[in-house]
């Protein structure tokens, strides 16, 4: 079954690094857009990150073409402007003003390409902070997410680049909305998404909780849950999460685990009653689950409609049977090694996005991209010989 390509024919030029900007291009490419990634001579430094950054490039740059340009040279900059003149969408996430100084700002490019949709992924939307430098972690700390994630007094960033990725997703939403508006008006526009405001949106539920109750939300590890059983429980071997979030599920839970006396107690039939009786109920449940293995707990719960989850690790997902039934796509890394990585988590018309892909070597598509711009062979050769464009070896 072929992958869906709803954005086939949409041309995207990408000036990005790290995670937030590349996420936008990756999603657009996964939906069928033609994405040309403009990298500096020698390739994007993101390719060479170590530690926790080692996965950034392979995860968020699949399905793209690569061209390496010297934007400080007249000829290299001219190529970039020609790419923008033919593009439907531009994506960038460099510091404020970086592309403006090169004449690659929206106002300049829209003069020759009024249909261009220009997506800037920034730290902040316009306001007092807009010139500050932001990173995913900066936004998590400023916006209250780190406070809500760690134990009281110990702010802790979330265990993935959630703000970079979600900010990129909001950028895609803006681009798709702008494409729809362009169908009516014939004109593009500038779209800006940001890290800080994305964080505020995610913690908005806690802001609303304060507005409703007048009490600040406690960090997640210390929160008062809305349900009596909604926690990680230790088994004989590995822990498992279990959630009982409705009165019907409470009845089912009691039946599954032989808790007839608890179900018979009508004083805790309703959810809020169970929350108030948490200190009486939880020790009983912890003791019961602690006498079982994780596999035994899962065997009881699987297929019942009860919310549960083994505590997984990222490296274990490579062998997850559900993901491997359609949620992974083969990828050839820069090293030549073969792996598989999660595809875009969508289904469209019964089909999943994603297809086998190879990460582009820096400048691997230089000639193809230049030819698509209509450049004659002599000009292409000159651009490569002078170093304005770098061709992959």
pLDDT tens sequence across 357-386? 889 899 999 999 999 999 999 999 999 999
pLDDT confidence of residue 349: 94
Residue 263 predicted with pLDDT over 80:
yes
Q: Torsion angle of alpha carbons 108, 110, 116, 119, nearest 10°?
A: 40
pLDDT confidence of residue 230: 96
CA geometry: angle 327, 331, 333, nearest 5 deg: 145
What is the rounded CA–CA span in Å between residue 134 and residue 155?
18
Strand partners for 119: 91, 191
Burial 116-138 (b: 16+ CB within 10 A, else e): bbbbbbbbbeeeeeeeeebbbbb
Q: Kindly report, residue by residue over 157-177, the tens digit of the pLDDT.
A: 999 999 999 999 999 999 999
Residue 1 predicted with pLDDT over 70:
no
User: Sheet containing 389-390: which strands, arranged edge to edge?
Assistant: 190-194, 117-122, 89-92, 11-15, 34-39, 65-69, 389-390
Structure confidence at residue 22 as a pLDDT band (50, 70, 90): very high
Whether 13 contacts 36, CB under 8 Å: yes
Average model confidence (pLDDT) across the chain: 96
Share of the chain above pLDDT 70, in %: 99
pLDDT confidence of residue 344: 95
pTM for this prediction: 0.94
Residue 335 predicted with pLDDT over 90:
no
State the CB neighbour count (10 A cutoff) for residue 244.
23
pLDDT confidence of residue 140: 98
> What's the mean pLDDT in 303-328?
96
Residue 393 predicted with pLDDT over 90:
no
pLDDT confidence of residue 359: 92
Asked whether the CA dihedral 36, 37, 39, 43 is positive or negative, the reply is: negative
pLDDT confidence of residue 148: 97
pLDDT confidence of residue 2: 83
> What's the mean pLDDT in 247-256?
97
> What's the mean pLDDT in 210-233?
94
Phi, psi of 194 (to 5 degrees): -145, 160
């Amino acid at each position: 079954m072929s992958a869906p390509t709803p954005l086939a024919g949409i041309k995207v030029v990408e000036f990005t690094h790290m995670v937030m900007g590349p996420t936008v291009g990756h999603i657009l490419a996964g939906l069928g857009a033609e994405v040309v990634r403009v990298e500096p001579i020698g390739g994007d430094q993101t390719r060479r990150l170590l530690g926790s950054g080692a996965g950034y490039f392979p995860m968020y740059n699949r399905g793209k073409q690569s061209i390496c340009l010297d934007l400080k040279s007249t000829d290299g900059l001219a190529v970039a402007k020609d790419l923008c003149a033919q593009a439907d969408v531009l994506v960038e996430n460099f510091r404020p003003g970086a592309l403006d100084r090169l004449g690659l700002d929206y106002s300049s490019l829209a003069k020759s390409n009024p249909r261009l949709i220009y997506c800037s992924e920034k730290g902040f939307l316009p306001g007092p902070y807009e010139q500050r430098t932001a990173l995913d972690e900066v936004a998590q700390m400023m916006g209250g997410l780190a406070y809500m994630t760690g134990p009281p007094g110990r702010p802790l960033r979330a265990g993935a680049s959630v703000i970079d990725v979600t900010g990129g997703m909001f950028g895609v939403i803006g681009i798709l909305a702008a494409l729809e508006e362009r169908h009516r008006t014939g004109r593009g526009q500038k779209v800006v998404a940001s890290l800080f405001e994305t964080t505020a949106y995610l913690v908005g539920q806690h802001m609303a909780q304060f507005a409703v109750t007048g009490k600040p939300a406690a960090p997640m590890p210390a929160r008062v849950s809305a349900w009596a059983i909604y926690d990680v429980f230790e088994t004989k071997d590995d822990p498992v999460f279990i959630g009982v979030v409705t009165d019907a599920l409470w009845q089912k839970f009691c039946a599954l685990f032989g808790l007839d006396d608890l179900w018979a107690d009508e004083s805790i039939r309703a959810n809020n009653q169970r929350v108030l009786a948490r200190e009486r109920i939880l020790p009983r449940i912890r003791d019961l689950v602690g006498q079982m293995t994780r596999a035994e707990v899962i065997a009881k719960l699987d297929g019942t409609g009860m919310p549960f989850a083994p505590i997984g690790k990222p490296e274990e997902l490579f062998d997850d049977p559900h993901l491997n039934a359609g949620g992974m796509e083969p990828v050839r890394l820069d090293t030549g090694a073969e792996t598989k990585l999660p595809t875009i988590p969508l289904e469209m018309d019964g089909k999943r996005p994603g297809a086998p892909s190879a990460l582009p070597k820096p400048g691997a598509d230089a000639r193809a991209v230049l030819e698509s711009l209509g450049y004659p062979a002599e000009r292409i050769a000159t651009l490569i010989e002078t170093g304005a464009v770098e061709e992959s070896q």
